[in-house]
Amino acid sequence: MDYIIITLTLLIGLLFHTWLFVRFKRWMDRDQALILANGDPKKRAWVLKQLQEAKRQKIQYRDIPRWLEERKKQPSLGSAETKLS
């Protein structure tokens, strides 16, 4: 019985830490993207859309900031109002 309790507690702890790690990673991505928007609602919407696109394209976590910077420099993306300057 002791082994079952220890195993169950260990598994629950690992699952909880994994959930926290994934959650913090998402929050950091979102915060980093929102910093690029500088509080402008239109830019914010554009950046969050680009973040979703990066996740859809499976851009690696470490490459997301560079990828967002490259996207904001491309003239063909978005209208002049929504594009980051």
Name the nearest CA neighbour of 50 among 28, 26, 34, 27: 34
23 is written with which tokens? 């959650």
Give the model confidence (pLDDT) of 19-77 as tens digits. 999 999 889 888 888 888 888 888 888 888 888 888 899 888 788 888 888 887 876 55
- Residue 20 within any structural domain of the chain: no
Q: Are 29 and 47 in contact (CB under 8 A)?
A: no
Asked whether residue 81 carries a pLDDT value surpassing 70, the answer given is: no
Asked whether residue 79 carries a pLDDT value surpassing 80, the answer given is: no
- Residue 6 within any structural domain of the chain: no
Name the nearest CA neighbour of 30 among 60, 73, 65: 65
Give the model confidence (pLDDT) of 1-14 as tens digits. 899 999 999 999 99
- Residue 1 within any structural domain of the chain: no
What is the spatial distance between Cα 29 and Cα 15, in angstroms, rounded to a whole number?
21
- Residue 15 within any structural domain of the chain: no
- Residue 35 within any structural domain of the chain: yes
Which amino acid, residue 46? W
- Residue 83 within any structural domain of the chain: no
In the chain, how many domains are there? 1
- Residue 81 within any structural domain of the chain: no
Q: Are 50 and 68 in contact (CB under 8 A)?
A: yes
